[in-house]
Amino acid sequence: MSEETSTAEEKKFQFPTAFTILFGLIILVAAATWVVPAGEYNREMNESLGREVPIPGTYHRVEGDQQGIADVFLAPIRGLYDPDTNEANAIDVAVFVLVIGGFLMVVTRTGAIDAGIGKVMTALRGQEKWMIPILMAFFAAGGTIYGMAEESLAFYALIIPVMLRAGYDSLTGVAVIMLGAGMGTLGSTINPFATVIAANAAGIPFTEGIVARFIILILGWLVCVAWVMRYAEGVKADPIRSLVYDMKADNEAHFLKGGTGGDTSEFTTTHKIVLVVFVASFALLIYGVSVLDWWMGEMSAMFLAASILVGVIARMGEHEFVDTFIDGAKDLLGVALIIGVARGIVVVMDAGKITDTILYWSEQAVSGLGTIAFINVMFWLEVALSFFVPSSSGLAVLTMPIMAPLADFSSVSRDAVVTAYQSANGLVNLVNPTFAVVMGGLAIGRVSYDKWLRFTWPLLLILTVLIMIVLSVSV
């Protein structure tokens, strides 16, 4: 009876999805066009940015264009492309997301990643503690390169049994994956779902500010690894120190089931070749963007070709390959759609001519702040917004067109604003209850949310201080 009551209470309130939040914001912004005065800045070309930027002190009122119900429903469509002119807005980014989702699923389905990890674990037998930094480096690489998130959920069933066999606990397995991939995303360098989208929205190349992001990535990763290793070794020395000690016997029965403690399938020649193609694809991505002037179209084509190559190498049948690729694209369909919905907010603001008015008000609000105060206030604004819009891509296209121009008024480079955004979003998404990856990972690992907070809150403080120091130095 008490369980039924508890379940009923849990169902009374469910936090809205990012789609609902963003669509609600579209409605609010459309309503604001009837209240907020329309205005514009004069603009001039900034040669270093290669784009026009607003000129401080030139804001003036103009005739408004209030947005109605039809504009609200057209906003997500216009976020992807303009139906009046057929010009692309975020449709290229959405297509890229779908293609890379298919690519990742094809690689995962070959078993190459699982087998590679299993090979490393076998080699470290007797030195199990070094599995922690190696695995966290792997997941951090996934986070910083392509924003590994939902894909990480597949690894819990592999990693947790191995950690239990090594004398650790299920929380250690969860931390290795969640903090590894999360720290990689926090310190994104070329992540197309965070850094690239945000830089694109800010009007700058994504390579600008990459040094500061590398510093955050490396130092933050070291802190996370030290934190997890310290906890894991403490649990191994004294199991009572485990935060999930009360579930020790239950977890061992659930995850081990008398087996070997993980998937240690043979690391075949096919697996090796697939992993070479996997790594080479992202190396080619970096080269193509930085040297060949590639963008979303070329990158999508490259990952499509890489998907087919992996399918041929793994001897997938035509039906299996197509079904697998579609399954991967389907997994990221929500991300692709949310890009259009979030971009629709800016579309409505621009159409209603209130974007520059909000910029003007924001300019007045931060005009008295120095560069260091400005970038740290920007960081905390993004922290607050991340709780309501956990999607890195959704938050990027929602906030960057507004936040980035403010940097021009405060003599702060726009790449610092991009770094503040992605650091804030990544930090919050280590514990964000509105982020499905957090709640899904904790559920698979049988770790309650309150225990996860107890484990991570001191680490979050350390990472916050680190981020604020790097941001302050960078400006």
Q: Which of 441, 405, 403 is nearest to 422 (CA)?
A: 403
Task: Confirm if 363 and 406 have CB atoms less than 8 A apart.
Answer: yes
Angle between helix axes 210-237 and 414-428 (nearest 10 degrees) is 20
CA distance linking residue 417 with residue 470, whole number of Å: 12
For residue 262, the model assigns a pLDDT of 40
* pTM recorded for the entire structure: 0.64
pLDDT higher at 97 or 221: 221
84: which 2 tokens?
A: 């009046």
For residue 420, the model assigns a pLDDT of 92
Residues in the chain: 475
β-partners of residue 81 are 88
pLDDT in tens, 154-210: 577 677 877 887 888 899 999 999 999 999 999 988 888 788 888 877 878 888 888
Percent of the chain whose pLDDT exceeds 90: 26
Q: What three-state secondary structure class fits 61?
A: strand
Torsion of CA 180, 308, 314, 278, to 10 degrees: -30
pLDDT in tens, 204-257: 888 888 899 999 999 999 999 999 999 999 988 898 998 888 888 888 887 775
**pLDDT surpassing 50 at residue 6:** no
CA distance linking residue 337 with residue 335, whole number of Å: 6
For tokens 């009360």, what's the residue? 246
**pLDDT surpassing 90 at residue 442:** no
- Other CB atoms within 10 A of residue 111 CB: 19
309: which 2 tokens?
A: 């190559």
